[in-house]
Structure formats: C-alpha cells, structure tokens
C-alpha cells in the first residue's frame, strides 16, 4: 500500500489529497509549500487566511483549487534543532494528524512530501525512518481506511532513504510469513504423534477451548460418555455436563491457569466408584492459554498380561 516515486507533488494525478509541508502561518513560503501555492492559485491563500495558522505537528485541510487532487492537507513539520527538542515526536505527529484528518474527510488516497527535510533541515535518513514506520503503524491500526499512500520525493537521495525503510518493513513481513509457515508444517508433523498418544489412552480425554466448547474426545471418552450422547457431545458446552458447583470450580481453575504460565495442573476429584484421580490440565500455545482437558488416572492394578501378544 505504501508507494514511493521521485517527482513533483503538484503534478501527481489520481490522488484524493496531497500533504503540504507548511509553516505555522499557513500563508505560503518556499520549497514544496511555495510550489503548491503557485500551482493551486491565489484562492488557496484566501482560504488559508481564514484558518488562523497551525501549530507544529498539527494539520488543517483546504480545497485544492487548480491542482489535480481534491484536497490539500497542510501540516507544519518541526524545525531541526539538534534532535533533543521533541523533533522526532513532532514529525511523527505530522503524519498521524494528516492521516486522521484524511480519514475524517473520506480521503482514501494521499501523497506526502518529505516533511521537514528541506528548509527545516531535519536529517533525511532519520526523518525517513520516522515517517515510514509511523505511517506503516497507523495503517496497521486503521485497516481498510486507505487505498494508497504515496511519497513523492523530490530528489534521488531522499527517495533512496525512504526506499530503505520501506524495504525493511517488507523484509520483516516476509520473515513473519516464513516463520508462520514453518511452524504450521511442524505442527502438522507433531499432531500425528500427539494424536496417537491421546487416542490409545484408555482414560477418557475431553479437550475444551476457553469457551468450554468440547472440541475433541478420544475413543475412550466417546465410549465412556455414550450414555450422554458420545460423539454428539462434540461442539457442546462442557459446563452443561456438570452441576452448578462443578461449573463454578471449573471457571475458578481456568482463572487460575490464566494468572501464570506455571499454573498448569490441579487435582480436582477422587472418583471412588471408579477408583480414579481426576485433574484439570491447561493447554497452551507457547505460553498462551488456549484450552484445557480433564486427566483421569486409574488406581486399579493393571489387568493386561505382560507382552500379551502370543
Ligand atoms: N514536490 C515534492 N517535493 C518537493 C517539492 C515538490 N514540488 N519541492 C520541494 N520538495 P521543504 P520543510 C521537497 O523545504 O523542510 C517552506 O518555506 C524538498 O526537496 O519544502 O518542511 C514552508 O513554508 C524536501 O525534500 O519543507 C516552511 O516555512 C521536502 O520537499 C518550510 O519551508 C521538504 O522541503 C518547511 O520546511
């Protein structure tokens, strides 16, 4: 969605709005401001006179008059003063406030110049980093609000600085994609092993997500709970299979699981009739709690003979 071109911002076609790197009087000046006022015509100055100026980091909007776009967003970049006078934040504010104003005015395509890096002397590499990362973050926080964000950069050196930052963002995205892909493959492979561990277990295993929805039952669970519907229980709430007292306890355990990644197992019940211990166990994706299951441990002596194969 972020694009870069080298050129003159007053000549850009098929764009809803362009951004002007103005000064706080909003009454025109040199650089890109001068070029925009010249190209838009003197009516722009008449409208700007009514705006009462603009503070550094803020933005105001006007019509575009003779320019090919529909609107102009005027923002005032910080004058570079060594870097310790809040220049970075004020520059980021210019981009954020321009984009906010654009959304309020249904602007979906917008072109920026390199704010502050001309007459206001902000170092280009530092400005490019702030500009590109601020806009990228804003677009992520406001998905679907823009169709195109373009920088029109006057000279080759400035364009190269911005290109470096855009490349970095794309590289990070690729990296995130490839990590996700390889993790998915790992999970598919591991899932086969985990599935056989669970499926041969002679105790019932019922796995629930955090909404208490039963998402998996092993063959023993289907057999054990046949009386209550067996496989039909899949998709139903585990809470519906318990009385109010047990429901409260289940909810409490889940809250305890949530408070620490070290909280993973609770002894919940001794079933005398079946002579078994029951535990609730947390299920996690890395550290994130994603569900839970009930673990049944029978105390009965094993009845199967050793190596009962022949
Ligand atoms: N199209 C695109 N970029 C341009 C154009 C153009 N037509 N003309 C210049 N640039 P500057 P600032 C580039 O000085 O640093 C004004 O007097 C330029 O090469 O326009 O924020 C205002 O009234 C540079 O890379 O803006 C303020 O007083 C970038 O635009 C003061 O200058 C910004 O340079 C603002 O200074």
Say which CATH number the domain at 160 has. Answer: 3.40.220.10
What pLDDT is stored for residue 186 in this prediction? 66
Ligand 1 pocket member 12 (CB < 6 A): no
Q: Which of 145, 144, 164 is nearest to 153 (CA)?
A: 164
Q: Does 210 share its domain with 277?
A: yes
Please give the distance, rounded to the nearest whole angstrom, from the Cα atom of residue 211 to the centre of ligand 1. Answer: 55
Ligand 1 pocket member 158 (CB < 6 A): yes
What pLDDT is stored for residue 136 in this prediction? 93
What pLDDT is stored for residue 179 in this prediction? 66
Please give the distance, rounded to the nearest whole angstrom, from the Cα atom of residue 21 to the centre of ligand 1. Answer: 6
Ligand 1 pocket member 215 (CB < 6 A): no
> Which helix or strand (DSSP H or E) is residue 181 part of?
helix 156-199
Q: Does 139 share its domain with 240?
A: no
Pocket test for ligand 1, best of 31, 48, 152 (most atoms within 8 A of CB): 31
Would you put residue 212 in left (φ > 0), alpha (ψ -120 to 50) or beta? left
Residue-wise pLDDT tens digits, 175-194: 666 666 666 666 666 677 78
Please give the distance, rounded to the nearest whole angstrom, from the Cα atom of residue 302 to the centre of ligand 1. Answer: 83
Are the C-beta atoms of residues 95 and 135 closer than 8 Å to each other?
yes
Ligand 1 pocket member 116 (CB < 6 A): yes
Residues with a known catalytic role: 33
Residue 182 in any domain: the answer is no
Give the count of beta carbons closer than 10 Å to the beta carbon of residue 263.
Answer: 14
Domain count across the chain: 2
Of 143, 174, 205, which closes a domain? 174
What pLDDT is stored for residue 241 in this prediction? 85
Q: Does 170 share its domain with 198?
A: no
Residue 95 in any domain: the answer is yes
Q: Whose CA is nearest to atom 9 of ligand 1?
A: 32
What pLDDT is stored for residue 308 in this prediction? 75
Residue 16 in any domain: the answer is yes
Q: Does 18 share its domain with 132?
A: yes
Q: Considering only CA atoms, give the Rg of the chain.
A: 31
What pLDDT is stored for residue 120 in this prediction? 97
Give the count of beta carbons closer than 10 Å to the beta carbon of residue 170.
Answer: 10
Q: Whose CA is nearest to atom 3 of ligand 1?
A: 154
What pLDDT is stored for residue 185 in this prediction? 66
Pocket test for ligand 1, best of 5, 11, 21, 22 (most atoms within 8 A of CB): 21
What pLDDT is stored for residue 169 in this prediction? 87
The set of residues, in sequence order, having a beta carbon less than 8 Å from that of 48 and lying 6+ positions away, is 26, 27, 28, 62, 74
Ligand 1 pocket member 101 (CB < 6 A): no
Q: Does 150 share its domain with 294?
A: no
Say which CATH number the domain at 252 has. Answer: 3.30.450.20
Ligand 1 pocket member 21 (CB < 6 A): yes
Please give the distance, rounded to the nearest whole angstrom, from the Cα atom of residue 145 to the centre of ligand 1. Answer: 27
Ligand 1 pocket member 206 (CB < 6 A): no
Atom of ligand 1 minimally distant from the CA of 154:
3
Q: Which of 174, 151, 171 is nearest to 3 (CA)?
A: 151
Q: Does 163 share its domain with 35?
A: yes
All residue ranges of the chain with pLDDT < 50 are: none
What pLDDT is stored for residue 109 in this prediction? 97
Q: Does 30 share its domain with 123?
A: yes
Domain that residue 229 falls in: 194-298
Q: Look up tokens 């057999």; give the residue.
A: 223
Q: Does 144 share its domain with 221?
A: no
Give the count of beta carbons closer than 10 Å to the beta carbon of residue 172.
Answer: 11
Of 114, 144, 174, which closes a domain? 174
What pLDDT is stored for residue 242 in this prediction? 87
Of 145, 174, 203, which closes a domain? 174
3-state secondary structure string, 63-132?
ECCCCCCCEEEEEECCCCCCCCCCHHHHHHHHHHHHHHHHHHCCCCEEEECCCCCCCCCCCHHHHHHHHH
Residue-wise pLDDT tens digits, 121-176: 999 999 999 999 999 999 989 999 999 999 999 999 999 999 999 998 888 776 66
Please give the distance, rounded to the nearest whole angstrom, from the Cα atom of residue 146 to the centre of ligand 1. Answer: 24
């Amino acid at each position: 969605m972020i694009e870069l071109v080298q050129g003159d911002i007053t000549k850009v076609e098929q764009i809803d709005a362009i951004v002007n790197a103005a000064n706080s009087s909003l009454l025109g000046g040199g650089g890109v401001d001068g070029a925009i006022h010249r190209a838009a015509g003197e009516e722009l100055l008449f409208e700007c006179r009514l705006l009462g100026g603009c503070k550094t980091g803020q933005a105001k909007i006007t019509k575009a008059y003779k320019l090919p776009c529909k609107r102009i967003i005027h923002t005032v970049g910080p004058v570079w003063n060594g870097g310790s006078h809040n220049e970075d934040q004020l520059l980021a504010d210019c981009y954020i406030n321009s984009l906010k104003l654009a959304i309020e005015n249904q602007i979906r395509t917008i072109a920026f110049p390199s704010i502050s890096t001309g007459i206001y002397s902000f170092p280009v590499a530092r400005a490019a980093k702030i500009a590109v990362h601020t806009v990228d973050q804003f677009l992520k926080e406001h998905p679907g609000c823009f169709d195109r964000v373009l920088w029109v950069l006057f000279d080759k050196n400035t364009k190269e600085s911005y290109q470096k930052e855009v490349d970095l963002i794309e590289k990070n995205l690729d990296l995130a994609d490839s990590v996700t892909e390889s993790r998915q493959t790992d999970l598919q492979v591991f899932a086969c092993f985990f599935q056989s561990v669970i499926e041969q277990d002679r105790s019932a295993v019922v796995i629930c997500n955090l909404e208490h929805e039963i998402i998996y039952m092993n063959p023993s669970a289907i057999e054990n709970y046949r009386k209550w519907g067996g496989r039909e229980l899949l998709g139903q709430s585990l809470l519906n299979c318990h009385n109010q007292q047990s429901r409260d306890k289940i909810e409490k355990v889940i809250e305890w699981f949530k408070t620490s990644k070290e909280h993973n197992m609770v002894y919940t019940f001794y079933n005398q009739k079946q002579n078994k211990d029951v535990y609730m166990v947390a299920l996690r994706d890395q550290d994130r709690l994603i569900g839970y299951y009930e673990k049944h441990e029978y105390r009965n002596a094993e009845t199967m003979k050793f190596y009962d194969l022949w």
